[in-house]
Amino acid sequence: MMQEPNQKVVSRATLTFHDDLTALLGSASCTGAGPTYSQRVNLVAKRYQDMCSALLAEVKWEPADWDLLLEHTAGLQFRGAETAMMLPAAVRRAGSKPANAAVQSGLTGLAYRLERLNDAQLLAVADALERRRAEVSGALAAPQQA
């Protein structure tokens, strides 16, 4: 069985993260019993980190894959963040244990930053992901180029 192309894996990660954020934002204004808003954000951040860790084991990542995965944050509140710079650099050293440690550190930093986004920032991320979702859906529907 052929390994899933990196583009599709990254697309799946982006869509999954979008779904998590959509669920989070849908319940953000709820009050009463259940997790607090910050707890929900933390759960989404943790799920994102876990998902990326699992995907790291699934494919050999290329710098362009990380650029795509981070695209929805690069122009928002993470501008100039060490996380956005660390991940592609780590992947360029692909496969080494130090690279994997750097990637894990970067994912932890990304989750930490996500936890601290306010409502408006989360909405901006969700909007960017919605645009990306439309692009990805169109790209996956198009015939694959050899």
- Which pLDDT tens digit goes with each residue over 47-82? 665 665 555 555 454 445 555 555 444 443 333 333
Coarse DSSP helix, strand, coil percentages of the chain, rounded to the nearest 5 percent: 75, 0, 25
Cα–Cα distance measured from residue 11 to residue 6, given in angstroms and rounded to the nearest whole number: 8
Two tokens at 5? Answer: 């192309």
CB 13 within 8 A of CB 55: yes
Q: How wide is the angle at C-alpha 52 spanned by C-alphas 11 and 127, nearest 5°?
A: 50
What SS3 state is found at 80? Answer: coil
Amino acid sitting at position 75? G
- Which pLDDT tens digit goes with each residue over 92-103? 444 445 445 544
| Residues composing the chain | 146
What is the structure's pLDDT at 124? 62
Residue 87, pLDDT > 60, answer no
CB 136 within 8 A of CB 14: yes
